[in-house]
Structure 1
C-alpha cells in the first residue's frame, strides 16, 4: 500500500490554554499534550503556569541558548529533580566546571576508534534478536520489547563485558521502575519548590535506587581490584580516563553515576528510535523495500557489521527521520540565569525556557510536509538547518554517545530488515506518549515474515 499521502501516528497538541491543573494532568500522562498547536507555527510561545515560561522553536534563538549563551541556560530544576536521585551529579546533570572536567575525562571513551571496536557486540545482539523473532514468525511480535532487550544486551556487554560481578537486569529493573513511577512531573516542580520538599510518588523507590547504586559500586570495586580486560570495555575506559587539563580521575561515586547514565541513555533512547523506525518501515512498504534492496546489496544475507554502516545511507536516513518524527527527548527544559531577549521577546532571570523538540521537528516553517514520513529529506544533511533538528541536542552539551547510538541503530535496523518483512497489526497502532522519553504506548506490534 502506498502511504505517501497518509500520515503516521502523531500526538494531539493543545488547541486551547490548559491552565495549571490541566497542565499538571497532561504532564503526568503525556507531556506532548501540554504543547500548544501554535508551537508548530510560531517562533516562540510564552505564558505563565505558576512560573513564567517560554517555548522556543526559532533555530537562531535555540543556537543562542545551546551555543552562544550556554552557561546562561542550564538544565531546569525540574529536570534535575527528576533524575538526580537515580544518576547523581553525572555528565547529564552537572553544570559549569564540574560538567567540563567530566566531559573532558569521558570524551575519549566515545572516540571513533573505541565506538567502531564495539560494533561486533551490536551485530551479535542483532543476530540474537533475529533468532528470537524467527522462532515466533509469522506471529505478531512487540518490537518495542525486542528493541529494549536487544539494546540492553548491547549496553550491558559494552559496559561490563558480561561481568558476573554486575547484575545488569537488577540495575535495569530498578532504573525502569524509577523512571516509570517516580520520574513524573510534580506540581511542586512546576511551582519551583525547593529540592528538599518531598515529591509524592518519588519517595517510595529509594531502596531500589540504593540497591542499583550498590550493585554498580561493587562491580567497579571488583574491576579495580582485578584490572582491565584485554579488550577494554566502557568501564575500563572510564577507569582509565582523566581530565587532560587537571589529570583528575573519577572516584567510585562519579564512575557509578556516569555508568548508570550511559546504561539508561545507551539503551532506552536507541531502543525507542529503533521501535519507531520499524513502525515507520511497516507503515510505508515502499520505504522498507528500498531499504532492503540497499541492505542486500551491501550485506548480502549476512548481518550488518560496523564496516557496512557507511555504505547504508538510506537505512541511516530512516533512522534520522524516525528521530525527527519521534525524538526520544521530546521537550528539553532550561532555567534562564540572566535577563535576555529571544525572538525579540523579554526573558527574565528565573524563567523556564523550553525547547519543544517534538514541535521543532514538525514546525511548518522549517519542514516541508512536517508530519509526513520522508527519509529522503536527509539525503543531504547540509540542507537541514543544524538548529532545526536536535535529536541529540547541540553545542558543548551535544550527546556524548551520539555516534555510538547511530552505529548501533544502523546495524540493528539493517540486520532486521535484511531478514524480515514487517507489516502492521491492524488496530494496534502505537501512540506517541512522553513522560521522560517519547515512547510508543501500547508497544510496536508488527507481523514479521522471513524474506
Structure 2
C-alpha cells in the first residue's frame, strides 16, 4: 500500500543512532530517551549484536522474537535493570514476577479480563467519555492539550472500574505518584546498569518513592475495607473480581500485598498505556483532515448525538484502525529487554548466558523490510490487508505474557476516540508538535496541542 499524496509531512519520529557509542554515552542517551541507544540500522537489519560493557543483541526478526517471547520464554526473563526500575512501584506483581509465581497470578487474574466482565465495564467508559467531551467542549474555539485530557479520562476509568468510586482513592495523588515514578524512578542510572540491589539508594528517587509508599498504603486500606464491606449491589468491579479470584490449579488466593501490587500495576499500566495510544492517535488524526473526516462520519453514523458504548465497537472499524496505526508508529511500550539465563541459538545471533537481549518495538514497527511506507500514518493498512505476522506488531507484547488488559484498553480507547471525533474537529497548533520520549513508556513530551472546533 502506498501513502496517499494528500498526507502532510512525516509525523514526528525519534532520531536513531548513526554511529557507534560506548558505555558512558549509552548511559547518557538512555537516561534521556531509551530509544536513543537504538541504531538506525535497526530499521533495516533483522538482528544487531554488539558490546557496551556486556554483550547485547537487538532483535527485529519475527522468528527470533517469537523464540524469546513464546517458545523459550523461561530462558529470557525480564532484565535485571527492568525489574529494578519497575519493582519500586509494581512490587512482585504479574508484570515483574517470573516462573511459577507469575503463572499462578496470571491464572487467578485472567477471569477478570475475560470478554464478558470487560464488556460489563463499558458503561463506566462511556460515562467518562461523556465527561471528557464536556471538558473539551468548554475549550472549543481554542487550543487544548489532548494528552492531559487523555491522562484524565483513562485515570478516571481505571480508578472507577477498580474501586467503584467508594474507596476514597485520591486520583490527584495517584497522578502525581505515577508522574514521579515515570520521570524520576523510571530513569536508568549507573547503579541499575551495574546491577546494584534494590536497597541501594538511587539519587533522585526519594521524593517519588515517598509518593509511591503513600499510594501503596492507600491501596492496602482500600483492599482491607472491601474485604470487610463486601461487594456492592451493582456489577462487580475489578477489586471485587480479584478478591474472589483464585488459581484454578491450586485454589490459592492473593494476599493483600499481592492484590495491592497487582491493582497498582493495573492502574499504572492500564491508565498510562491507553492514554498514550489515544494521545498519539489524536496527534496523527489532527494533522490529517481527510482521514479525520472519514473517522468522524463513521462515528456520527454509529453514535448520533450520544457517547460511544461497548456495543458500538463492531460499527467503528476505522476508529479501531486509527488506534492500531497510532500504536504501530508510537508503541506505548517501545523497548523491551531480557536477560538470557542460558546459552541459546537465535536466527542471526549466538546468545550466551548473561547476554542482554533487546527488542526495540519502535524500530520493529517501522522496519523498512516489514512495512510499506513505515514512517507514514496509513490506518487503511489495518482494513485493506491481512493483519501482519503477530511478532512484527507488538503493542501489547505477545506470547504467554501478552498484556492481560489488552481487550479492556482497546474497548476504552475506541469508546473515547469515537465519542470525541463525532463531536469535534481537531487541527494542529502551529509549532507545538510533541517530542516522542521513551523512559518506561513512549510519551509525547510537550503535550498534544490541537485546536478544537465543534463539528
| Shared fold (TM-score, shorter chain, > 0.5) | yes
Checking the alignment, whether the CA contact within 8 Å between 1:155 and 1:267 is kept in structure 2 is: yes
CA distance in 2, matches of 1:145, 1:447: 14
SS state of the match for residue 359, structure 1?
Answer: helix
* Residue 43 (structure 2) pairs with residue 43 (structure 1): no
CA distance in 2, matches of 1:440, 1:407: 22
Partner of residue 180, structure 1:
183
Deviations 1:126-172 (A, max 9, x none): 11111111112111000000000011010110010111432233233
Offset, 1:182? 1.7
Partner of residue 292, structure 1:
296
Aligned with 1:248 (options 249, 252, 276): 252
Partner of residue 391, structure 2:
387
Alignment coverage as a number of residue pairs: 451
CA distance in 2, matches of 1:409, 1:438: 17
* Residue 67 (structure 2) pairs with residue 91 (structure 1): no
Mean CA deviation greater in 162-171 or 248-257: 162-171
Deviations 1:54-97 (A, max 9, x none): 10000000011111000001100111000101110000000000
SS state of the match for residue 128, structure 2?
Answer: helix
CA distance in 1, matches of 2:231, 2:197: 42
Partner of residue 13, structure 1:
16
Checking the alignment, whether the CA contact within 8 Å between 1:3 and 1:283 is kept in structure 2 is: no
Structure-2 change in CA distance of 1:53 and 1:3 (3 Å) = farther
Offset, 1:19? 1.4
Offset, 1:196? 4.1
Checking the alignment, whether the CA contact within 8 Å between 1:165 and 1:222 is kept in structure 2 is: no
Offset, 1:380? 5.6
SS state of the match for residue 136, structure 1?
Answer: coil
Offset, 1:286? 1.1
- Give runs of aligned pairs for residues 421-436 of structure 1, distance below 5 A: 421-436=425-440
Deviations 1:170-210 (A, max 9, x none): 23322321221121011222233344433322344332222
* Residue 66 (structure 2) pairs with residue 58 (structure 1): no
Partner of residue 265, structure 1:
269
Checking the alignment, whether the CA contact within 8 Å between 1:165 and 1:218 is kept in structure 2 is: no
CA distance in 2, matches of 1:233, 1:101: 21
CA distance in 1, matches of 2:292, 2:323: 12
CA distance in 1, matches of 2:282, 2:274: 12
Aligned with 2:414 (options 410, 434, 442): 410
Partner of residue 355, structure 1:
359
Shift >6 Å, 4+ stretches: none
Checking the alignment, whether the CA contact within 8 Å between 1:425 and 1:447 is kept in structure 2 is: yes
Offset, 1:50? 1.4
Partner of residue 241, structure 2:
237
CA distance in 2, matches of 1:415, 1:390: 26
Give unpaired runs (5+ residues) of structure 1: none
Offset, 1:383? 3.6
Partner of residue 334, structure 2:
330
TM-score, normalised to structure 1, is 0.98
C-alpha RMSD over aligned residues: 1.4
TM-score, normalised to structure 2, is 0.97
Checking the alignment, whether the CA contact within 8 Å between 2:143 and 2:450 is kept in structure 1 is: yes
CA distance in 2, matches of 1:419, 1:89: 43
SS state of the match for residue 437, structure 2?
Answer: strand
Aligned with 2:28 (options 11, 22, 25): 25
Give unpaired runs (5+ residues) of structure 2: none
CA distance in 1, matches of 2:167, 2:274: 25
Partner of residue 281, structure 1:
285
SS state of the match for residue 42, structure 2?
Answer: helix
CA distance in 1, matches of 2:360, 2:105: 27
Deviations 1:213-241 (A, max 9, x none): 11110111111110012221000000010
Checking the alignment, whether the CA contact within 8 Å between 1:50 and 1:191 is kept in structure 2 is: no
